[in-house]
Amino acid sequence: MSELRELYQSVILDHNKRPRNFGEPAGAKRSADGDNPLCGDKITVYVGVEDGIVTDVGFVGEGCAISTASASLMTEAVKGRRLEDVERIFEEFHALVTSSSQSEPELESLGKLQVFAGVREFPMRVKCATLGWHTLRAALEGSGQTVSTE
């Protein structure tokens, strides 16, 4: 059952039970909705940006443990970061969770997000892990379109 423990690490279970930055922060001017129609996950990500830096970020929604924990850990990972850093972290995170990636991602820079490494063994769950990130990106781009991982 190591595969299972690898997927549901205690950090993930903790963030699922007590998601951080859950809610709409006062300083967030941009937002976007994301959904995964197949499993019924729904999320809204709120983000505030000043001088190219993410000053505030939060989310609401309902979803599986992987998508909830990923969104929660994402908010911690991007707060206070420059926009170009956010984009880089997302790319590295994406490489971490997709088994198709050729190069090993730079685990060090991902910090806590490394707990999602187990997702790559579960291709059906990649979209759960990336829903929050795709929605954050949409909020930053301000496209106003609902992001769908289908």
From residue 65, alpha-carbon distances to 8, 15, 37, 76, 139 in Å are: 8, 8, 16, 17, 22
C-alpha 51/C-alpha 49 separation (Å) is 7
Structure-block tokens of residue 78: 């991007």
Give me the least distance between CB of 84 and other proteins, in Å please.
Answer: 33
Q: Which residue, 35 or 56, is less far from other proteins as judged by CB?
A: 35
Q: Which residue, 12 or 78, is less far from other proteins as judged by CB?
A: 12
Give me the least distance between CB of 146 and other proteins, in Å please.
Answer: 15
Instruction: Please report which residue ranges of 22-143 form alpha helices under DSSP H.
Output: 65-78, 83-97, 107-110, 126-141
Give me the least distance between CB of 115 and other proteins, in Å please.
Answer: 14
| Dihedral sign, Cα of residue 89, residue 146, residue 68, residue 22 | positive
Q: Which residue, 15 or 79, is less far from other proteins as judged by CB?
A: 15
Q: List contacts with other proteins (CB under 8 A).
A: 1, 3-4, 7-8, 13, 37-42, 62-66, 68, 122, 124-125, 128
Q: Which residue, 125 or 137, is less far from other proteins as judged by CB?
A: 125
Q: Which residue, 115 or 140, is less far from other proteins as judged by CB?
A: 115
Closest by Cα among 80, 9, 90 to 48: 80
Give me the least distance between CB of 18 and other proteins, in Å please.
Answer: 13
Give me the least distance between CB of 11 and other proteins, in Å please.
Answer: 14
Tabulate helix, strand, coil % of the chain (nearest 5): 50, 20, 30
